[in-house]
Chains A and B, each alone.
Chain A
Amino acid sequence: MKELIKELSEAYGPSGREEAVRKIIQGKLKPLADNMEVDSLGNLIVHKKGPGKRIMLAAHMDELGLMVTFIDKNGFLRFSNVGGISPHVLLGERVVFNNGTAGTIGCEKIDSMKDLNFKKLYIDIGASQKKEAEDKVRIGDTAVYQRNCLDLGGRIISKALDDRVGCAVLIQVLQEIESPANDLFFVFTVQEEVGVRGARTSAYRIKPDYGLAVDVTRTGDTPESETMSVALGKGPTIKVKDTLIISHPRVKKLMVDAAEKAGIPYQLEVLERGGTDSGAIHLSRGGVPSGVMSIPCRYIHTPSEMVDYQDVIHGVGLLKNILETPLE
């Protein structure tokens, strides 16, 4: 599965431009899906038929990005953030566009780090004048972090593990699952990072009986971190609450029961800031009981997000167990 995570996390796919990621997933799942479609926002909906209830599983394909808003006469690019990026992590960062054009991020002279904001930053793609830059990049093009996926043995560092690791979990589950006890819709969503948009329209389309997002979550296991009980390596988490959802108690319970029954380690998660696709799914139409399984992840939204490989493996196991149990 590590290769799958590497392939997915290294792919280019900021919000609104998820097609490269979608293509990889389409290629892998084509032989396994009963039906596969792309909706008008670009969500990939993979149907795996089964008896029983309609379950929507969601992992988002999009990652953070930097959209070019201006090219100056010397060929420097000004940009806005796509999704929640802190300007601090961008200093000295390298970025890459869809056509392979790479650059580094520079900063105007500032007196104090407190003055740092996106307006002070620019991308330098090595062009010496406007025309040269415009040959490679247009206003509206979006760059992503240029980082490779690094296997540290037990743990993995990469950009965009949020939420390509969730995509990997869904793909792996679909590949491993033998006899789904429920009617499954694996949805690889778009535009999560700009407001859980893809999940909202795809949930309306699918009309699920249950919703389950697979995403990453923050941890409280680093030096002087926030007071959160989630740690790397202690298993996937079952979410109780975040900014966008209070998990349905029934869904939370069936996830806990599945983990206990299969002897899979898990952690309960209360997230102070952040949300996932389930935030949109559970408010679709007349309401959808929903929950979230998260892979604990350090340094979320930086170029170097870190997950524990065993947490991913256990996540696949837990999800399979949930889906192989008929739901009422």
Chain B
Amino acid sequence: MLLKTLSESSGVSGGEKEVRQFISHQVRPHVENVETDILGNLIVRKKGKKEGPVLMVASHMDEVGMMVAGFEKSGLIKFFKVGGIDDRVLLSKVVQIGPNKVPGVIGAKAIHLQKPEERKKSIKVEDLCIDIGAGSRDEAEKRVRLGDYITFSTRYEEIGDNCAKGKALDNRVGCAVLIEILKREGYPYSFYGVFTVQEEVGMRGAGTAAYRIKPDLALAVEGTTAADVVEVKEEGHVTTLGKGPALTIMDASVIAHRGMVSFLMKLAEEKGIPYQIRRFTGAGTDAGRIALTRQGIPSAVVSVPCRYIHNPAGILNLKDVEYTVKLVEEFVKNLPEGGFDNEGID
């Protein structure tokens, strides 16, 4: 299972090697060219029947996680967060550290030892440590190094009705979609698939890759928030599991190109692919960087709804993934020869 391996691989921003190598191995037989740039973006060229508008389909490989920041005398490990994580989810989790995946746990003071007022407060990352069972600083430093990346240790699993649970679904699900697209054939125009790095620390990879490729248009494939859960009122759901891929009108980083969004909607309706509009304008994606590269690049975002992203265990609907693959495939196959411009938009 593609998504299982992708989800269980370690790839915190700046340390995407394991994910990159897996993807590279997967797509190599199906594409014309594979290269890595100096930031670590994996840039793949898929051959079409002819040359046309240059499309870049981007999907980021990195996940939020942590990093070894220091060692206590006792052998406990201080750590920093990499990317946006709620401190409160860190408590009582199993993690793995560095290339050797050294296991460790984030401990919490036993409830018996806490005063009543302590129990009410959230615990900050500054006050937490990772315990790898080392008896001293020296022993700990033998097993992990300063700067080593840390991920949650979460097994991917299919659960419920057509759902899957795992870590890093944002954005390994985007990677899974893009890999699948690259494996298929019959595209009219050659295009680029780019697996980007460091989206979670500021959309760092997408801009440099777009600068290099100079695409005429770009599509980012993402895992996005779904908050269709109890405790959240319907107007706050953002996206809903099982209702198909989500299209972005606007987020904090980009206003999607209106011509492209209308085209995607029309296509979905024609091909009978369910879709939804992302009902939120916050957070950013690679499309934000790509859109502002060089003279500007018309960009849009297609996302798979995922619950509990940036947490140790997220949930998505596998039907949504299928429909997302379908929509992206149809988009690439039906790309207008002239690309998209701003003339003629009402």
Q: Using a CB–CB distance below 8 Å, which chain A residues touch chain B?
A: 15-17, 19, 38-43, 67, 69-70, 72, 78, 80-82, 119, 139-140, 191, 194, 197-198, 200-202, 204-205
CB contacts (< 8 Å) of B291 on chain A: these are 41, 197
Q: How far, in whole Å, are A200 and B291 apart by their CA atoms in the complex? A: 11
CB contacts (< 8 Å) of B298 on chain A: these are 40-41
Q: How far, in whole Å, are A254 and B280 apart by their CA atoms in the complex? A: 45
> Closest 4 CB pairs between A and B?
A201-B296, A16-B255, A140-B249, A80-B281
Can you list 14 A-B pairs with a CB-CB distance of less than 8 A?
A39-B342, A40-B295, A40-B297, A67-B250, A69-B280, A69-B281, A70-B234, A80-B282, A139-B277, A139-B279, A197-B291, A200-B292, A201-B294, A202-B295
Other-chain contact of B235, A41, A70, A202, A205 (Cβ < 8 Å): A70
Given known contacts A38-B341, A41-B296, A69-B235, is B277 in contact with A16 (CB within 8 Å)?
no
Q: How large is the interface on B (under 10, 10 to 19, 20 to 34, 35 or more residues)?
A: 20 to 34
CB distance from A71 to the nearest CB of B (A): 9
Other-chain contact of B279, A15, A69, A119, A201 (Cβ < 8 Å): A69
In the complex, which residues 183-203 of chain B have their Cβ closer than 8 Å to any Cβ of chain A?
Answer: none
- Do A16 and B250 have beta carbons less than 8 Å apart? yes
- Do B235 and A201 have beta carbons less than 8 Å apart? no
A196 and chain B: residue at smallest CB distance: B292
Q: Count contacts between A and B, CB distance < 8 Å.
A: 74
- Do A82 and B250 have beta carbons less than 8 Å apart? yes
- Do B235 and A16 have beta carbons less than 8 Å apart? no
- Do B279 and A70 have beta carbons less than 8 Å apart? yes
A41 and chain B: residue at smallest CB distance: B296
A72 and chain B: residue at smallest CB distance: B235
B297 and chain A: residue at smallest CB distance: A40
B258 proximal to A (CB < 8 A): yes
Given known contacts A67-B281, A82-B250, A140-B277, is B345 in contact with A40 (CB within 8 Å)?
no
Q: How far, in whole Å, are A19 and B344 apart by their CA atoms in the complex? A: 10
CB contacts (< 8 Å) of B337 on chain A: these are none
- Do A16 and B295 have beta carbons less than 8 Å apart? no
B231 proximal to A (CB < 8 A): no
- Do B281 and A39 have beta carbons less than 8 Å apart? no
Q: How far, in whole Å, are A17 and B261 apart by their CA atoms in the complex? A: 13
CB distance from B48 to the nearest CB of A (A): 22
Other-chain contact of B342, A15, A42, A78 (Cβ < 8 Å): A42
B127 proximal to A (CB < 8 A): no
Q: CB-CB contacts of B284-314 with A at 8 A, as 1s and 0s? A: 0000000110111110000000000000000
CB distance from A125 to the nearest CB of B (A): 16
B117 proximal to A (CB < 8 A): no
Q: How far, in whole Å, are A70 and B294 apart by their CA atoms in the complex? A: 34
CB contacts (< 8 Å) of B297 on chain A: these are 40
- Do B250 and A78 have beta carbons less than 8 Å apart? no
- Do A40 and B292 have beta carbons less than 8 Å apart? no
B126 proximal to A (CB < 8 A): no
Q: How far, in whole Å, are A143 and B311 apart by their CA atoms in the complex? A: 35
- Do A40 and B235 have beta carbons less than 8 Å apart? no
Most-contacted residue by chain A among B279, B281, B294, B296 (CB, 10 A): B296
CB contacts (< 8 Å) of A69 on chain B: these are 235, 279-281
- Do A78 and B235 have beta carbons less than 8 Å apart? yes
- Do B280 and A197 have beta carbons less than 8 Å apart? no
CB contacts (< 8 Å) of A191 on chain B: these are 255
CB distance from A122 to the nearest CB of B (A): 9
In the complex, which residues 72-111 of chain B have their Cβ closer than 8 Å to any Cβ of chain A?
Answer: none
Given A80-B282, A139-B279, 17 more pairs with CB closer than 8 A:
A19-B346, A38-B343, A39-B296, A39-B342, A40-B295, A41-B298, A42-B342, A69-B235, A69-B279, A70-B235, A80-B280, A82-B281, A119-B236, A139-B249, A140-B261, A140-B277, A205-B294
A77 and chain B: residue at smallest CB distance: B235
Q: How far, in whole Å, are A197 and B254 apart by their CA atoms in the complex? A: 9
CB contacts (< 8 Å) of A197 on chain B: these are 255, 291-292
A42 and chain B: residue at smallest CB distance: B342
CB contacts (< 8 Å) of B236 on chain A: these are 119
Q: How far, in whole Å, are A17 and B249 apart by their CA atoms in the complex? A: 11
Q: CB-CB contacts of B254-278 with A at 8 A, as 1s and 0s? A: 0101100100000000000000010
- Do A38 and B342 have beta carbons less than 8 Å apart? yes
- Do B279 and A39 have beta carbons less than 8 Å apart? no
- Do B342 and A72 have beta carbons less than 8 Å apart? no
B276 and chain A: residue at smallest CB distance: A139
Q: How far, in whole Å, are A215 and B327 apart by their CA atoms in the complex? A: 42
- Do B258 and A16 have beta carbons less than 8 Å apart? yes
Q: How far, in whole Å, are A15 and B256 apart by their CA atoms in the complex? A: 11
Q: How far, in whole Å, are A207 and B215 apart by their CA atoms in the complex? A: 20
- Do A72 and B234 have beta carbons less than 8 Å apart? yes
